[in-house]
Amino acid sequence: MAGRASLLRLCPLLLPQNRDGTAYEGFISAQGRDFRIRILLPAGSQLKNARIECSWHLKKILHEYRHILKQRLHSCPDLVSFVVELKTVLEIALKNTQELHVPRPPEYYSCLVRDLETLGWNKVVYVDTGLTTIKLKAEDSRDRQHLITLKLNAKYPAEPPDCVVDLPVQFAISWMPQDSLVAVHNQFLVALESLKEFWDTMDEIDGKTWVLEPENPTRCATSRRIAIGSNVSVSIEVDPRHPKMLPECYFLGADHVVNPLRTKLNNNMHLWDPEVGLLQNLKDLLEIDFPSRAELEKIDFTRDCGICYSYRLNGTTPDQVCDEPRCGQPFHQACLYEWLQGLPSSRQSFNIIFGECPYCNKPLTLKSSMKKP
């Protein structure tokens, strides 16, 4: 209730469309203009699976910011926080759109060209024809390449550029009117070095294990779903500021396989050594070796959904597994939920549905985060 009240104060024209607060429709305001928007949340209000619908005009305005909005959708703790981020991005986008049509003074161009020459053209990846958008590259001490996109307004350098980066943490620059692009680039390098251990950890995971999700992780991605065996995996959420600490772990697979892993993790948690890499710690605590890319193919431990007969569905992979050892058939949660709902023998209590495996008829339960149709 408090969340709805906060949202109403923030966007009085964005109203809930149902009692459970999974659908909002109305207008979001920025720069004195109203834009129609619709936000659909899955049951449980998990923002990372939310769907945002808007007019083609708003979609066009936010097009260049879609990646940062997707990142914020995954990282914001609640809808109110995301709407705050959305309004901020929209304000920036509208401001930059308006300024594209404002003629810049000659001093703007001479100052910008001078700054680019001082920085070095070898660090410049892209400059648009209006000299308002610039992409710079930088290397961290591990020779990893990173990009930063700068949006300059007509008052540059009196006002700082807006920065878009692929980082797992917020990046805010400190700026004085006498500063230049060199100052931005240097601050970007400092931010990259502060995240060196995080990327070392994620690169080791990506290089030495089979990562099921995300399929093509970006530098801002803090989660990995790692294969352990056939239809058994663990999802971890790594803290980018403390990458060697014990991450959040969530096991996926049949109960008779993942329950012993949960027990080992709980019993061995005290053995976690911050001086040792995250991957080695996980191996020691779980008393396992993760499947190696050198020895196994991805197909060796992934199977298609037993209902839709595909592996990837709307960006998700099968994460529900029949607990019968002789069966072990995996399913997408959405497919299994729809299947169980269609069975006359199935019953539902709140968000838990009880039914039978489509393959071996073993009783199973599914805790669903999906809305009832």
Q: Which is nearest to 150 in space by CA: 199, 115, 190?
A: 115
Sequential pLDDT tens for the chain (373 residues): 456 677 778 888 888 887 777 888 888 888 778 888 888 887 665 677 788 888 887 888 888 888 888 888 888 888 888 888 898 888 888 877 765 556 788 889 999 999 999 999 999 999 988 888 999 999 999 999 999 999 888 888 998 998 999 999 999 899 998 899 999 999 999 999 999 999 999 999 999 998 888 878 899 999 998 988 877 889 999 999 999 999 999 888 777 888 899 999 999 999 999 999 999 999 999 999 998 776 666 665 667 788 887 777 776 778 788 887 778 788 888 888 888 888 888 888 777 888 888 888 888 888 765 443 3
Whole-number Å distance between alpha carbons of 52 and 47: 10
Question: Which tokens hold the place of 168?
Answer: 């797992």
* Phi, psi angle pair for 220, to nearest 5°: -90, -10
pTM, two decimal places: 0.62
Q: Answer whether 355's CB lies under 8 Å from 345's CB.
A: yes
Which residues are bridge partners to 331 per DSSP?
Answer: 320
Residues ≥6 apart with Cβ < 8 Å to 9:
none
